[in-house]
Amino acid sequence: MGTIITEATRFLECAGNDVFVESIYPEGVGEALIGQFGLDQGRFSINLHIYTEPAKKIPKWGVWGTNYNVVVLKFIGDGLKIIKVENWDCFGKAELLCSRDGDRYCISQRGLTWEFEVLFGILVFQGAETYVDEEARG
């Protein structure tokens, strides 16, 4: 890709230091699945399916492990510069890596046969949903 990453950073910095996201995931999001990625003339949307229990209980979501075991964080981004996607149909859960390259941020994930990387300027939290993933229940 040719990007020189100058420093690793926390996901919350990449996500614009959103107060709500920080309150439910102060230690980071852990394993995630990129469930949706969309493009719209330099802007993009991304939905991250998070399999880590939130640190804060949200009453309208119900009880972790009973009413939901996945949180979907929805974002819109701007300043899109580079996208790299390999074997989208093989994507799965993986660590979400965040880094900074000057005034740009990079979010990436890698699996054995797939890869995702996006370099952008800003990411803004739009909302959250929850659901039960039967496979994640074990």
What pLDDT score was predicted for residue 1? 39
Segments making up each domain of the chain, as ranges: 7-131
What pLDDT score was predicted for residue 78? 92
Spatial separation of the C-alpha atoms in residues 31 and 59, rounded to whole Å: 23
For 104, other C-beta atoms within 10 Å of its C-beta total 18
- Any idea which residue has 């993009």 for tokens? 44
For 77-86, how does the pLDDT look when each residue is reduced to its tens digit (9 = 90+)?
Answer: 999 999 999 9
Beta bridge partners of 47: 36, 74
What pLDDT score was predicted for residue 53? 95
Angle at 110 between CA 84 and CA 21, to 5 degrees: 90
For 48, other C-beta atoms within 10 Å of its C-beta total 23
pLDDT at 3 over 60: no
Task: Indicate the pTM of the whole model.
Answer: 0.88
For 87-107, how does the pLDDT look when each residue is reduced to its tens digit (9 = 90+)?
Answer: 999 989 998 888 888 889 989
Spatial separation of the C-alpha atoms in residues 16 and 24, rounded to whole Å: 15
Beta strands in the chain (DSSP E): 7-8, 31-40, 43-50, 70-78, 82-86, 94-95, 97-101, 104-110, 115-120, 122-131
What pLDDT score was predicted for residue 19? 87
